[in-house]
Amino acid sequence: YKSTRKPRHFPPGPSWWPFLGCAPQVQLLRKKTGHLLLATSKLARKYGPVIGLKVGGELVVVVHGAEAVREFLANDDLSGRPNTSLYTFRSWGKRLGIVMTDGDFWAEQRRFLVRHLRDFGFGTTNMSTLLEEESQELVKYLQRCINESEAVVNMHSLFSTPILNTLWRMLAGVRYDTDDPKLAELHEILADMLKQVSMVGKTFAAFPFLRYLAPEASGYNLYMDAHRRLTDFLYKEVDDHKQTYDPEYPRDVMDLYLTVINGNAKLQNSTFSEQQLIITCMDMFMAGSETTSNTLSFCFLYLVLYPEVQKKAQEEIDRVLGRERVPTLSDKHKLKYVECVIWESLRMFVGRGFTLPHRSIRDTELCGYFIPKDVKIVGNFYDSLLGDQCAIEDPMEFRPERYLKDGEVVVPDAIMAFGVGKRRCIGDALAKGNLFLFVTVLLQRFNFSVPPNASPPSTDWEDGLTPRPKPFQVVVCER
């Protein structure tokens, strides 16, 4: 009986059953609507923007609409991360990494990472050169496809390799050629891991005892296998670094991290360890690879669905750069329409997902409701960016012009693509750089269109750690 009672002034929502909470009602709605995102949006229609759920034994609050989501993200009391077994199973039973930790541990690690990612390139010319090289590699790859008369390309998966390369080069100084078997291995391991990690909705995460009763059926074994393979891969890389690094001349973030672990007595017993390094790399892959490559996939999905937008962006590129000059990051401020295409693509990507899960670190209030300590809380971006009641006109239309005001790019507050507050994204410079260069370089060189006799690709999406378009192909030809 007690487990079915709600805390006083807790956000409203469906009633709770013993043991299951309201998981069955949510699951039913998820089946009906096709996505968890749409299921909670439906509940928000009935109960208001902040809804209170119980999934298994866990209290979960889901926040909808731009105003409520901003209030949530800006509230420091809600800046913790859930301390659920899902995130400690992967890291030897400890809370490690940066994405799923909080408190002083997280603050020290985040500070270190932000500072040294900047030293090694984020937002500097170093990064620019690296991204330019990677985007040119992709041009060469597409040219090879065209020459081998394979001009039909799987667009949903085109970007994962180059994006992975940019991230891995920043962290560990490693670059793989497209046909390197180690890259294929890393790719496969990562794809598998990302498939296994769904932030909301893993059965054994809501009901941890299932890992003993039904390790296979609850997804526990697959989840653990995928993580074990990735930690093994990363350990090998750390070992390689240990053989070759020189503390006087760190080559990348991994070298710097090893220097801190090994050398600095003052920092011993601190939050720095080899295990922490491994899980931080894992976190960077999780947070940085799919997000960027899926945004690019959505971008090209809409560019083939809206050929007039593609043409307009190409005209701008022709006017500013011509067909020959290789784009660089410093061209960004001159290509305003391309920038709008990127913001519109980010809206299409972010609007199909949730924020990462947060946790209330003390009793607090949100939009007038009481949120007790240790509640899991997530933001749903659908209602504010794509839902039919959002403040954006014709939200399902891909219309980059909407951001152009008197020749300047003005992004509405509702588009919190990189988050707000203490947990804001630390990779936005790399992400924006990648998005700009890949879109510009590809549109400068190629036309993208729906294959003849094929239906236009669907704008429905697949859920995973982040949303991605359903598999689709496009015809690529040189301009």
| Contacts with ligand HEM, 189-218, as mask; x by CB under 6 A | ------------------------------
CB under 6 A: which stretch of 27-35, 131-139, 353-361, 365-373 binds ligand HEM? 353-361
Site membership for ligand HEM, residue 419 (CB under 6 A): yes
Query: Looking up tokens 């996505």, which residue turns up?
Result: 35
Q: Least CB distance from residue 10 to ligand HEM, whole Å?
A: 22
Site membership for ligand HEM, residue 283 (CB under 6 A): yes
Residue 49 CA to residue 69 CA, distance in Å, equals 9
CB under 6 A: which stretch of 4-12, 354-362, 454-462, 470-478 binds ligand HEM? 354-362
The annotation status of 367 as a binding-site residue, yes or no, is no
Site membership for ligand HEM, residue 288 (CB under 6 A): yes
Which of 145, 222, 261, 425 is close enough to bind ligand HEM by CB under 6 A? 425
Site membership for ligand HEM, residue 426 (CB under 6 A): yes
Residue type, 50: V
Q: Least CB distance from residue 284 to ligand HEM, whole Å?
A: 5
Site membership for ligand HEM, residue 90 (CB under 6 A): no
Residue 155 CA to residue 394 CA, distance in Å, equals 26
CA within 13 Å, CB half, 75: 24
Identify whether the C-beta of residue 259 lies closer than 8 Å to the C-beta of residue 246.
no
Please calculate the CA angle 234-123-436 and round it to the nearest 5 degrees. 95
Binding residues for ligand HEM restricted to 138-167, rule: CB under 6 A: 167
Q: Least CB distance from residue 305 to ligand HEM, whole Å?
A: 20
Site membership for ligand HEM, residue 423 (CB under 6 A): yes
| Cα–Cα separations (whole angstroms), residue 408 to 152, 353, 434 | 36, 28, 21
Residue 71 CA to residue 420 CA, distance in Å, equals 9
Site membership for ligand HEM, residue 356 (CB under 6 A): yes
Q: Directed axis angle between helix 220-244 and helix 253-263, to 10°?
A: 80
Q: Tell me, by CB under 6 A, how many residues bind ligand HEM.
A: 25
9 or 424: whose CB is closer to ligand HEM?
A: 424
Site membership for ligand HEM, residue 316 (CB under 6 A): no
3-class state of residue 239 by DSSP: helix
Site membership for ligand HEM, residue 59 (CB under 6 A): no
Site membership for ligand HEM, residue 437 (CB under 6 A): no
- Provide CB contacts within 8 A for 211, sequence distance 6+: 89, 204, 218, 220
Q: Least CB distance from residue 419 to ligand HEM, whole Å?
A: 3
Site membership for ligand HEM, residue 467 (CB under 6 A): no
Site membership for ligand HEM, residue 253 (CB under 6 A): no
Site membership for ligand HEM, residue 291 (CB under 6 A): yes
Q: What is the DSSP string of 29-86?
A: HHHHHSSHHHHHHHHHHHH-SEEEEEETTEEEEEEESHHHHHHHHH-GGG-B----HH
Residue 46 CB neighbour total at 10 angstroms: 10
In our burial notation (b when 16+ CB lie closer than 10 A, e otherwise), range 357-377 reads bbbbbeebebeebebeeebbb
| Contacts with ligand HEM, 378-417, as mask; x by CB under 6 A | ---------------------------------------x
Residue 131 CA to residue 137 CA, distance in Å, equals 10
23 or 386: whose CB is closer to ligand HEM?
A: 386
Identify whether the C-beta of residue 92 lies closer than 8 Å to the C-beta of residue 243.
no
Site membership for ligand HEM, residue 418 (CB under 6 A): yes
201 or 419: whose CB is closer to ligand HEM?
A: 419
Which of 385, 431, 439, 476 is close enough to bind ligand HEM by CB under 6 A? 431
Site membership for ligand HEM, residue 99 (CB under 6 A): yes
Query: Looking up tokens 């089946």, which residue turns up?
Result: 31
Residue 385 CA to residue 352 CA, distance in Å, equals 9
Please calculate the CA angle 407-459-186 and round it to the nearest 5 degrees. 95
Residues tagged in the binding site annotation for heme: 425
Query: What are the binding residues?
Result: 425
Could you list the residues that contact ligand HEM (CB under 6 A)? 73, 98-99, 110, 167, 283-284, 287-288, 291-292, 295, 350, 355-356, 358, 417-419, 423, 425-427, 430-431
